[in-house]
Amino acid sequence: MIKGLLFDLDGVIVDTAKYHYYAWKQIADELSIEFTLQDNERLKGVSRARSFQIILELGGRTMSEAEQEEYCEKKNQIYLDYINKMTEDEILPGVKPFLTDAKNKGYRIALGSASQNAQSILTLTNLKDYFDVIVDGKTVSAAKPNPEVFIKGANELGLKNEECIVFEDSVSGIEAAHHANMLAVGIGAEKDLPMADMHLDGFCLVTIEKIIGELK
Ligand code: XGP
Ligand code: MG
């Protein structure tokens, strides 16, 4: 029986995936590395450090750890310039009613994000109170597709892994859910997330019962 819902943040709850792309694109341009929107799919869900390594791999480049850290810090500053202007308008459509309805029906709700900026974003958008548990890039050591973030989320909710479902917009996140023995709802197109157990464009006009019914 499903009792817990684990949500990724960027691209699932808030429209921030585009800001990560703009910021990484600026870094890639600075390094003269070609970086497309399609390449960006590989960065979704993974940690900041791993994201930058993927960009270096795309360009066939290597760099010392210290330099990599500098670029990651620079990317985060660019990203924060976007984020600090963020308002509740950037909560994705249907998210708040969906969370409210699920909460009223007794589902336990956790955030499972790779981002170290998760707490700031939830504060800026007034979303913190919707989550019983928050697991983010500051509290996990292994990035998705490692299942640590979701296993920790289920644990902190006091639930078994198989009692939880995951909402994710990234390939690495869907893999992480499956490694944790959880069903995964892909937020986005089937072509981008072929291994998800079902797909949604977003949370408008969907209910948790409908999703669970379809997953069975
Ligand atoms: P943070 C971010 C990564 O920088 C970004 O590449 C990922 O797509 C994103 O996490 C996934 O949620 O981490 O820089 O906000 O800590
Ligand atoms: Mg995401």
> pLDDT digit string (tens) for 169-209?
999 999 999 999 999 999 999 999 999 999 999 999 999 99
pLDDT of 8 higher than 90: yes
Atom of ligand 1 nearest to the CA of 76: 14
Query: Could you give the C-alpha distances from 210 to 61, 65, 83, 103, in angstroms and in order?
Result: 47, 47, 33, 15
Band the pLDDT of 52: cuts 50, 70, 90.
very high
Among 116, 113, 117, 123, smallest CA distance to 91 is for 123
In the listed set 59, 84, 109, which residue is the last one of a domain according to the structure? 84
> CB-hemisphere CA count at 13 Å for 185?
24
Clarify whether residues 68 and 126 are in a common domain.
no
Report the percent of the chain where pLDDT is more than 90.
97
In the listed set 84, 108, 129, which residue is the last one of a domain according to the structure? 84
Clarify whether residues 73 and 24 are in a common domain.
yes
What would the two tokens of residue 75 be?
């990317």
* Ligand nearest, relative to CA of residue 11: 2
ipTM of the modeled complex: 0.97
Clarify whether residues 51 and 148 are in a common domain.
no
* pTM metric for this prediction: 0.95
Atom of ligand 1 nearest to the CA of 48: 4
Clarify whether residues 60 and 112 are in a common domain.
no
Q: What is the CATH number of the domain that holds 134?
A: 3.40.50.1000
Clarify whether residues 109 and 159 are in a common domain.
yes
What's the rounded mean pLDDT across residues 32-42?
96
* Ligand nearest, relative to CA of residue 21: 1
The distance of Cα 194 from the centroid of its chain, to the nearest Å, equals 17
Q: How far, in Å, CA of 23 to CA of 112, rounded?
A: 22
Task: For residue 79, give its domain range.
Answer: 16-84
Cβ atoms within 10 Å, residue 39: 17
Q: Which residues contact residue 180 at a Cβ distance below 8 angstroms, ignoring those fewer than 6 apart?
A: 147, 150, 151, 154, 161, 166
Identity at 25, one-letter amino acid code:
K
Number of domains the chain contains: 2
CB-count exposure of residue 213 (10 Å: 0-12, 13-18, 19+): exposed
Spacing, Cα 104 to ligand 2 middle (Å): 25
Band the pLDDT of 216: cuts 50, 70, 90.
confident
Clarify whether residues 96 and 177 are in a common domain.
yes
